[in-house]
A and B are shown apart, each in its own frame.
Chain A
Amino acid sequence: GENVEQHPSTLSVQEGDSAVIKCTYSDSASNYFPWYKQELGKGPQLIIDIRSNVGEKKDQRIAVTLNKTAKHFSLHITETQPEDSAVYFCAPRRGSTLGRLYFGRGTQLTVWP
């Protein structure tokens, strides 16, 4: 499967600060780049995604940026709130993976009030 690396593995920020998580992938044929959020005791949930023909996408306080040349994409969360505390996973993929997601190892984000 795809080699996916996520950094940092843990991230602590003060409420109101910004948080950035980076995902690096190896498969140059990847063309879809989602981010999933997993709250404690729950399953992962898609929060934002981007396709390969787009460089940036925003949805209120979250955004994703893509650098296809360098093969990495990042999740940006602004004005963080305690409810943003969760584990975040990237899962880059291409069409031939028959639906399966290859997740990064996750980033534990903690937002302190």
Chain B
Amino acid sequence: DTAVSQTPKYLVTQMGNDKSIKCEQNLGHDTMYWYKQDSKKFLKIMFSYNNKELIINETVPNRFSPKSPDKAHLNLHINSLELGDSAVYFCASSQGLGTSGIYNEQFFGPGTRLTVL
């Protein structure tokens, strides 16, 4: 009964390809996120969705297109992959936004390690 799950765990692909990463949470949360962790372990927010609506896009290139079919799922599609996209991508979820959700814990998935060759 994993709280936040991601598939696949590893993804190795060639430059220029298109790939997707799926995320699901069974916690009943209304907010989901994508974070990118680079090789130096720096974690950076990419997107945030609340009730299936995009709330935050942290100046991510438009080759990255998140999609939330329902509150429990947030997928990430990446077009025309580049070498610099190699990283670990984490999905997370929490309940509430702004002042109502500030104290609510974010639960992270196990990560997807993307390697672009």
Residues of B contacting A32 with CB < 8 Å? 102-103
Is B106 an interface residue when CB atoms closer than 8 A count as contact? yes
In contact, A45 and B42 (Cβ under 8 angstroms):
no
The 0/1 profile, CB within 8 Å of B marked 1, for residues 15-48 of chain A is 0000000000000000110100010011111100
Interface residues of B in 33-59 (CB under 8 A from A): 33, 35, 40-45, 48, 50, 55-56, 58
Residues of B contacting A96 with CB < 8 Å? 98-99
Residue of A nearest to B44 (CB): A103
Residues of A contacting B4 with CB < 8 Å? 43
Residues of A contacting B41 with CB < 8 Å? 38, 87, 105-106, 108
In contact, A94 and B90 (Cβ under 8 angstroms):
no
Q: Which of A38, A43, A100 contacts B56 (CB 8 A)?
A: A100
Q: A43-B110, A46-B105, A89-B43 are in contact. Are A98 and B99 (CB under 8 A)?
A: no
The 0/1 profile, CB within 8 Å of A marked 1, for residues 89-110 of chain B is 0101010111101110110111
Interface Cβ pair total, 8 Å cutoff? 73
Interface size class of B (residues with CB under 8 A): 20 to 34
Residues of B contacting A38 with CB < 8 Å? 41
Q: A99-B48, A101-B45 are in contact. Are A94 and B102 (CB under 8 A)?
A: yes
In contact, B33 and A99 (Cβ under 8 angstroms):
yes
Residues of A contacting B45 with CB < 8 Å? 1, 100-102
Distance in angstroms between the alpha carbons of A89 and B108 in the assembled complex: 13
Q: Which residues of B contact A (CB under 8 A)?
A: 4, 31, 33, 35, 40-45, 48, 50, 55-56, 58, 90, 92, 94, 96-99, 101-103, 105-106, 108-111
Q: Which residues of A contact B (CB under 8 A)?
A: 1, 31-32, 34, 38, 41-46, 49, 51, 87, 89, 93-96, 98-103, 105-106, 108
